[in-house]
Amino acid sequence: MDIISKAKELGELIALSEEMATLRRCEERVINDKKADRLLREQKMIQDELIRAAQNGEFTSTHEQLKNILAAKQEEIRNYSITADFLKAKENFDKLMKTINDVILFTITGEEPCSDSKCGSCGGCGSHA
């Protein structure tokens, strides 16, 4: 088998994984729940405003207010079960994808993946430079 067919096979396995199934279920719940959808849209709007302010060099009290508003919105999202479940499912799926990537990189390079603590003992985290 060639590389591309193996990649397709891996993609099919990922698509059938429990992490992907859970993420899809949670995404569907968010889409069908007006409050969850509103919370995530509002968060995105606040993030966009913060980015615009930073790009324009506007580090004023308004910027601080936006950061506080965003923190409050993120707390509201974490406290609402539907969005909290979605975030947890996304986190679990992202962990699966990182693990897959780490295994592929280890197989190619022979180097262990970086730890979250950025130990500096590997060639990938950059903290040893």
- In a domain, residue 88? The reply is yes
- Closest listed residue to residue 115, CA positions, set 126, 19, 107, 129: 126
- In a domain, residue 51? The reply is yes
Please spell the DSSP secondary structure of 77-99, one letter per residue. Answer: HHHSHHHHHHHHHHHHHHHHHHH
- In a domain, residue 74? The reply is yes
> What pLDDT is recorded for position 63?
78
CATH number, domain containing residue 32: 1.20.1500.10
- In a domain, residue 116? The reply is no
Sign of CA dihedral 39, 44, 47, 49: negative
pLDDT along the chain (129 residues), means of 10: 93 98 98 97 95 77 85 97 98 98 93 70 53
**Cβ-proximal residues to 12 (8 Å cutoff; 6+ apart), any chain:** none
> What pLDDT is recorded for position 124?
57
> What pLDDT is recorded for position 120?
58
| Domains contained in the chain, number | 1
> What pLDDT is recorded for position 112?
82
- Closest listed residue to residue 111, CA positions, set 83, 120, 18: 120
pTM of the model: 0.77
For residue 111, give the DSSP letter: P
Name the residue range of residue 26's domain: 3-109
